[in-house]
Amino acid sequence: MAKGKLWTPEELLLALNLYHKLTFGQLHARQPAIMEVAEKMNRPANSLAMKLVNLASLDPVLKLRGIKGLPGASALDRKVWAEFHENLNEAAPASEEAMRRLFRVSESGELEVLPKEGIRVRRQPKAGSTEAVANVKIRRGQEYFRDAVLNNFGGRCGVSGLAVRELLIASHILPWGTHVSERLNVRNGLCLSRLHDAAFDRGLIAFDDKFRLLLSPRLKAELSQRSVAENFGAYAGEALCFPDDAAPPELVFLSQHRATIFRKA
């Protein structure tokens, strides 16, 4: 295995993809996904883990929480970090494509980063027609966003705690269609069950500046229904649940959702 070799921009792109799919407390050499990616990169796991903590030193969200990461980020680290976050809609799909190449995932296959298990690759039936390059880029971006948001919430619905990954959605706080620059921003994402995602998207629920669940008058009027009481009433006023080392949802985005989408009547 290679030791002490210089990092390339392609490798840093892979590292950034993984960085945004793990929380700070998961950046260590025994983390399953780090071990698998490092092996594919022909690098020691501790080398990749150290690079991820170097990158953490550049993260403004961590700095606000007093977390410094590991000093020693190179000029190339800083350059790739800046380029990635200045052009997220291009860089994130490119990083997802690079990760798929690393694990030799077929066009119709799926790749997920599961913090407790490592990298999961699943084969899917081939599509009936060839997708345009633009559509592939959009799909790769969506795949990146889903993994990043679900893992940021510890793989659980932020409202109910549901941990069945197939029933979870990476919900956009600011809509995909109207806020292009925030499409792939993990802080524009909430991990919600399919039911809570639908309610959030339609303005039936929202979250205040302390991340507490708000119910619209429309939902409150239906609390006599058992399903509404159990799935919404039971959580009203409770704060979103996400790991202590997660990147918290952007409060400005939640405020904008309340102002423009939340149904107040």
Q: How far apart are CA 35 and CA 38, in angstroms?
A: 5
Judgement on whether residues 190 and 99 belong to the same structural domain of the protein = no
The pLDDT of residue 128 is above 90: no
* 8 A C-beta contact, residue 174 and residue 256: yes
Residues 228 and 34: their CA atoms lie apart, in Å, by 41
Statement to judge: residues 137 and 19 lie in one domain = yes
For residue 159, being part of any structural domain is answered with: no
- Which of 89, 75, 21, 96 is closest to 52 using CA atoms? 21
Q: How confident is the model at residue 202 (pLDDT cuts 50, 70, 90)?
A: very high
Mean residue pLDDT of the chain comes to 94
Is residue 158, in this structure, part of any structural domain at all?
no
Q: How far apart are CA 18 and CA 99, in angstroms?
A: 9
**Domain total in the chain:** 2
Q: What pLDDT was estimated at residue 2?
A: 46
d(CA 136, CA 132): 6
Do the domain assignments include residue 113?
yes
Mean pLDDT, residues 201-225 = 98
Q: Which domain holds residue 254?
A: 165-260
Beta carbons within 10 angstroms of residue 60's beta carbon: 7
Do the beta carbons of residue 247 and residue 65 sit within 8 Å?
no
Position 125 scores a pLDDT of 59
- Summarised one tens digit per residue, pLDDT across range 148-193 is 999 999 999 999 999 999 999 999 999 999 999 999 999 999 999 9
| Mean pLDDT to the nearest integer, 37-48 | 98
Give yes or no: residues 147 and 228 share one domain. Answer: no
Give yes or no for a contact between 178 and 203, defined as CB atoms under 8 angstroms apart: no
Indicate if the pLDDT at residue 32 is higher than 90: yes
Return phi, psi of residue 138, to 5°. -60, -45
